[in-house]
Chains A and B, each alone.
Chain A
């Protein structure tokens, strides 16, 4: 243990603890800006500087370890001056037109400037210009970047390394490590750089206007699908708990806006299980096992990552489309038939926790239902929140409204798709049924739950031993693929979600500075699953119906046409 004094308080902490943590333990708050615990402790902004008696220089509290007998002042005149000057310097290079910034109200710089009572900037304003295009799903606004370096660190953690510190001196900024545009980069579109950005420098492409246009087009039947993880997070903007901000409440808001039908992606998550589970059993039955392990393919960030970094593994990806794309294909075929309308009249909006979904829906080959894109537009959770705000709807004050049928019902198995391990667990529940003809205990496969980056489990189904792996975060996926490539590990089935913790921690989800949200949100999905009467994908009545009335059976010709895809039909820039 180390004893020190902070602002006159005696503090005793473990060796190796930073001044910042030591102060926090004593109830003393030191402001930070670039710091993100465990990810970015680089002391770049110099906001958390403190004074240590006996030393002239002011160390960064975020990355200076405590020493025995240290006397620290967190708010001395020197510290206040340095802190304020540094924030003013950052502001002198920042586009401070806050009212038109997406992050206004949820911006660490804005809050800090206000906390420090900064009401003017004594320096000449010199804001860098913006040079990037706005067409890619991920946008970077140079004039707002404060060079905190979090995006670089996060991208490195995600094993993509597209961001880097480029140029020198006053022109140092964040840029692409290789290549000249995001379109040409190997960006997986996980969006984690956005959720870790303290300001509005990194954002999703805003597609809300497209949705407003469709809602105002009398010829369009606008349908929405809501991804599983949205129900854990969409109400955070209004400080609503997940119990209050239900999927039914969101459906209600969407109807108020003018959506014609609101459905559940959980339904097509169940459909994915039927197709992907059957595909897995078919591949497992193959004599040469050449296509094993099977990789899940519902996460488009993961698909982009495999294609650009490990193209030799593309054929291991399940050919089953993601739930989002299955939904689009079903909406513009099966559901159009039910409505008795031309499929092209249906305008399909997805509400997703994800940026890569914006790319996925635009893949030219994803047009199997009628030739138009199966999904027309993807809104992230943040965009749908902005849309609700712009309609002046207060979600706390509206009634829940049931989702529409028949595409609005999903099982608990489909519901847990939004968290790491959920797809695997759902698949195993139904695979067990498909092999044995009877249901397992719905919690039989719970070993694959939890926030660990790389989980392994072995299950016995009817005498066949299945070795499965579940990874979340592309850094872990990278490690797994390396190990797989070198023959160090072998599995039958692997689930990968690009974002840490899965879609609940998705790059399109609401942003909370310095908090990893996946561990907070995932329990919502599991408690909903536990509370559900319907815990198996194959028991979803709408699933039974669609196979009976339309698709025939899993992997049928019609299923293949609508619900499967060729991952070689499009290329990543460097593939």
Chain B
């Protein structure tokens, strides 16, 4: 007899492990809009299959819970049964011996509390209340609802001009978005069921890079209506572009020297090269809108005046003020806000950090941008102090990884407490209090002070990147509703009781993504057009090729590659390599064409106009 043996994984177990991976991806692609009760039932069933069966509440109770929820789904339960589900879940949670039973029951408790009205709808009317099946996940997840399967099909056919034309129907910033969009479209890409999401952003960039030339859009007959747009960022320029295409006379008021807003004054050029941004904006201007730069609404001209001079006004001022940490010593020379630093860089004023030790405070994408810029500006060391864990950072994982590769050091679980000054008032060090990760609050574990002393991080500069605010006081003073500095426009970009004023972009949503700002401009353009008494339609006129019918066998996703860190950190040139022809051809063929296959064919496959 052998006392011990090595574990060999059986074929069955190996297959199960594979199936676990499949279900992991399956759940990742699960888009919003599905029946929550049906999903809850499936999750409890899955948990029940994991039960070892030793304990009563888990072995028997979960089954009874499933029966009850199935009865709800079949419309055969009573309202009292919903209470019974809640009570039973609570009992299982309390009396189960291990987490398999108690966590399954906790899901049931959450479900009943979270969408009790849907349980009731099933009981009373035998149907789901919240279901709103999204046929084409990428299109519905894109705030601007760009026809993604459409342009990917065109890329696959080599029709790049048409692909970009189709994108411009909903999003006039294809080049910019090809570089820096956060691609929410990829989040629930159905291709993940097979292997991995389509590299949609990369394909968009590829299409733009192969567009022959930007042609002036065909504009509708002049309407004689005038629209003022306050702020020349992505949201304002989107509105100006579409409104010009609709035949309205638009004027963009921009307080800075150049157009682009946060694209220029917030995003470093190694992610979005200035020549690409400039070319994109010049292309937009072909639609015919006027621009006035270096003019600040509130100082040089009032909102009231604009309302008098124009038929409609769109406020898209963005979120350009910095937030303060609120610690001692923040007034020291050498404490620079991220907004200030990136704005300077945007205007071409490159600070010199040669040989300096830099500490960045913050954990968002902007913190990564300033940290990586600091490296490129010659800093000797760059540390990123963050009070939570690295995994809790709000920055995209790839940005965090990129910053580390560039040479930034991440000091997770370190909360800034004060800034030490030199005698002449300059930054000497940032003091941080080490933290320990604690209880989960609002979905994220909150840090608490660790039982260890403060740590001194000697440095020359502290770069503060803890969010931006909105300079909305002039608008508030002029009767525009403002809520915590955000302009309180409705989802339709207008305001109750205020005629002819619309607002969107970061100044309404708070600092968000470029595609959200673009979507805000698109919504505003449509509703301003309607307000002005028109119903212009925006179409692309692009016909799609016949749907490809092919087996879509598992095939790896083409990821974007970057210049090596040792090279890219020496300049502000574009960091990311483009897709090759071979890669774009393969990647575009991976698209499952959800606009045709599945529910897309039945409803909402393609929106040809808006």
Docked CA distance A156–B34 (Å): 22
Q: Contact between A65 and B551 (Cβ–Cβ < 8 Å)?
A: no
B24 at the interface (CB under 8 A from A): no
Q: Contact between A41 and B601 (Cβ–Cβ < 8 Å)?
A: yes
Stretch from B127-135, B199-207, B519-527 contacting the other chain: B127-135
Task: Find chain B residues with CB under 8 A from A166 CB.
Answer: 127-128, 131
Q: Contact between A65 and B131 (Cβ–Cβ < 8 Å)?
A: no
A423 at the interface (CB under 8 A from B): no
Q: Contact between B602 and A168 (Cβ–Cβ < 8 Å)?
A: no
Cβ contact of B126, chosen from A63, A67, A131, A168, cutoff 8 A: A131
Which residues of chain A from 171 to 193 have any CB-CB distance to chain B below 8 Å in the complex?
A: 171, 175, 180
Interface residues as binary, B539-581 with A (CB distance below 8 Å gives 1, 0 otherwise)? 0000000110111000000000000000000000000000000
Docked CA distance A169–B131 (Å): 12
Which residues of chain B from 27 to 51 have any CB-CB distance to chain A below 8 Å in the complex?
A: 34-35, 38
Q: Which residue of B lies closest to A66 (CB)?
A: B546
Count contacts on B: residues with CB < 8 A to the other chain.
23
Q: Contact between B34 and A180 (Cβ–Cβ < 8 Å)?
A: no
A520 at the interface (CB under 8 A from B): no
A371 at the interface (CB under 8 A from B): no
B535 at the interface (CB under 8 A from A): yes
Interface residues as binary, B71-108 with A (CB distance below 8 Å gives 1, 0 otherwise)? 00111000000000000000000000000000000000
Cβ contact of A15, chosen from B38, B546, B599, cutoff 8 A: B546
Stretch from A53-61, A197-205, A253-261, A304-312 contacting the other chain: A53-61
A52 at the interface (CB under 8 A from B): yes
Task: Find chain A residues with CB under 8 A from B602 CB.
Answer: 42, 44, 149, 152-153, 165
Q: Contact between A168 and B551 (Cβ–Cβ < 8 Å)?
A: no
B125 at the interface (CB under 8 A from A): yes
State whether A175 and B127 are in contact (beta carbons under 8 Å apart), knowing that A42-B602, A165-B133, A168-B133 are contacts in the complex. yes
Docked CA distance A289–B289 (Å): 42
Q: How far is the CB of A181 from chain B (nearest CB, A)?
A: 9
A64 at the interface (CB under 8 A from B): yes
Cβ contact of A52, chosen from B73, B127, B549, B603, cutoff 8 A: B549
Q: How far is the CB of B480 from chain A (nearest CB, A)?
A: 29
Q: Contact between B127 and A167 (Cβ–Cβ < 8 Å)?
A: yes
Docked CA distance A166–B133 (Å): 9
Q: How far is the CB of A49 from chain B (nearest CB, A)?
A: 12
Q: Which residue of A lies closest to B605 (CB)?
A: A42
Q: Contact between A486 and B127 (Cβ–Cβ < 8 Å)?
A: no
Docked CA distance A168–B603 (Å): 15
Q: Which residue of A lies closest to B553 (CB)?
A: A56
Q: Which residue of A lies closest to B38 (CB)?
A: A168
Which residues of chain A from 373 to 391 have any CB-CB distance to chain B below 8 Å in the complex?
A: none
Interface residues as binary, A144-168 with B (CB distance below 8 Å gives 1, 0 otherwise)? 0000010011001000000001111
Task: Find chain B residues with CB under 8 A from A15 CB.
Answer: 546
Task: Find chain B residues with CB under 8 A from A52 CB.
Answer: 549
Cβ contact of A55, chosen from B75, B549, B596, B599, cutoff 8 A: B549
Interface residues as binary, B595-610 with A (CB distance below 8 Å gives 1, 0 otherwise)? 0100101110000000
Q: How far is the CB of B65 from chain A (nearest CB, A)?
A: 18
Q: How far is the CB of A488 from chain B (nearest CB, A)?
A: 9
State whether A180 and B125 are in contact (beta carbons under 8 Å apart), knowing that A59-B549, A67-B549 are contacts in the complex. yes
Q: Contact between A16 and B535 (Cβ–Cβ < 8 Å)?
A: no
Docked CA distance A55–B549 (Å): 8
Task: Find chain A residues with CB under 8 A from B546 CB.
Answer: 15-16, 65, 67
Docked CA distance A152–B601 (Å): 13
Task: Find chain A residues with CB under 8 A from B35 CB.
Answer: 167-169
Chain B, interface SS category: loop
Q: How far is the CB of A34 from chain B (nearest CB, A)?
A: 10
Task: Find chain B residues with CB under 8 A from A63 CB.
Answer: 596, 601
A43 at the interface (CB under 8 A from B): yes
Total cross-chain contacts (CB, 8 A)? 56
State whether A167 and B549 are in contact (beta carbons under 8 Å apart), knowing that A42-B602, A44-B602, A180-B125 are contacts in the complex. no
Docked CA distance A168–B33 (Å): 10
Docked CA distance A396–B80 (Å): 61
Task: Find chain A residues with CB under 8 A from B75 CB.
Answer: 131
Q: Contact between B547 and A65 (Cβ–Cβ < 8 Å)?
A: yes
Task: Find chain A residues with CB under 8 A from B131 CB.
Answer: 166-168
Docked CA distance A380–B127 (Å): 32
Q: Contact between A55 and B38 (Cβ–Cβ < 8 Å)?
A: no
Task: Find chain A residues with CB under 8 A from B596 CB.
Answer: 63
Interface residues as binary, B246-271 with A (CB distance below 8 Å gives 1, 0 otherwise)? 00000000000000000000000000
State whether A57 and B127 are in contact (beta carbons under 8 Å apart), knowing that A44-B602, A63-B601, A169-B38 are contacts in the complex. no
Task: Find chain A residues with CB under 8 A from B550 CB.
Answer: 55
Task: Find chain B residues with CB under 8 A from A67 CB.
Answer: 546, 549
Q: Which residue of B lies closest to A142 (CB)?
A: B126
Task: Find chain B residues with CB under 8 A from A43 CB.
Answer: 601
State whether A57 and B551 are in contact (beta carbons under 8 Å apart), knowing that A166-B128, A166-B131, A168-B131 are contacts in the complex. yes
Docked CA distance A42–B597 (Å): 8
Task: Find chain B residues with CB under 8 A from A168 CB.
Answer: 34-35, 38, 128, 131, 133
Q: Contact between A167 and B128 (Cβ–Cβ < 8 Å)?
A: yes
Which residues of chain B from 274 to 293 have any CB-CB distance to chain A below 8 Å in the complex?
A: none
Q: Which residue of A lies closest to B39 (CB)?
A: A168
Q: How far is the CB of B510 from chain A (nearest CB, A)?
A: 33
Docked CA distance A425–B131 (Å): 47
Docked CA distance A64–B602 (Å): 14
Q: Which residue of B lies closest to A15 (CB)?
A: B546
Docked CA distance A486–B35 (Å): 38
Q: Which residue of A lies closest to B599 (CB)?
A: A165
Task: Find chain A residues with CB under 8 A from B547 CB.
Answer: 64-65
Docked CA distance A246–B38 (Å): 55
Q: How far is the CB of B167 from chain A (nearest CB, A)?
A: 24
Docked CA distance A567–B599 (Å): 40
Docked CA distance A153–B34 (Å): 21
Q: Contact between A486 and B535 (Cβ–Cβ < 8 Å)?
A: yes
Q: Which residue of B lies closest to A65 (CB)?
A: B546
Task: Find chain B residues with CB under 8 A from A55 CB.
Answer: 549-551
Task: Find chain A residues with CB under 8 A from B34 CB.
Answer: 168
Docked CA distance A180–B127 (Å): 9
Docked CA distance A165–B127 (Å): 11
Task: Find chain A residues with CB under 8 A from B128 CB.
Answer: 166-168
Which residues of chain A from 453 to 509 have any CB-CB distance to chain B below 8 Å in the complex?
A: 486
Which residues of chain A from 46 to 90 have any CB-CB distance to chain B below 8 Å in the complex?
A: 52, 55-57, 59, 63-65, 67
Docked CA distance A42–B603 (Å): 9
Docked CA distance A169–B35 (Å): 9
Q: Contact between B551 and A56 (Cβ–Cβ < 8 Å)?
A: yes
Q: How far is the CB of B201 from chain A (nearest CB, A)?
A: 29
Docked CA distance A408–B98 (Å): 84
Q: How far is the CB of A140 from chain B (nearest CB, A)?
A: 13
Residue from A41, A169, A486 whose CB has the most chain B CB atoms within 10 Å: A169
Q: How far is the CB of B535 from chain A (nearest CB, A)?
A: 6
Q: Which residue of B lies closest to A164 (CB)?
A: B603
Q: Contact between B38 and A171 (Cβ–Cβ < 8 Å)?
A: yes
Q: How far is the CB of B22 from chain A (nearest CB, A)?
A: 18
Docked CA distance A67–B548 (Å): 9
Q: How far is the CB of A380 from chain B (nearest CB, A)?
A: 29
Which residues of chain B from 488 to 535 have any CB-CB distance to chain A below 8 Å in the complex?
A: 535
Task: Find chain A residues with CB under 8 A from B126 CB.
Answer: 131
Q: Which residue of A lies closest to B551 (CB)?
A: A56
Q: Can you give 5 A-B contacts (C-beta < 8 A)?
A: A63-B596, A63-B601, A149-B602, A165-B602, A166-B128
Q: Which residues of A are in contact with B by a Cβ distance under 8 Å?
A: 15-16, 41-44, 52, 55-57, 59, 63-65, 67, 131, 149, 152-153, 156, 165-169, 171, 175, 180, 486
Q: Which residues of B are in contact with A by a Cβ distance under 8 Å?
A: 34-35, 38, 73-75, 125-128, 131, 133, 535, 546-547, 549-551, 596, 599, 601-603
With A16-B546, A168-B131 already in contact, 12 other A-B pairs whose C-beta atoms are closer than 8 Å: A42-B601, A56-B551, A57-B551, A59-B549, A67-B549, A152-B603, A165-B603, A167-B38, A168-B38, A169-B35, A171-B38, A171-B74
The 8 closest A-B pairs by CB, nearest first: A65-B546, A168-B35, A42-B601, A42-B602, A56-B551, A59-B549, A168-B38, A64-B549
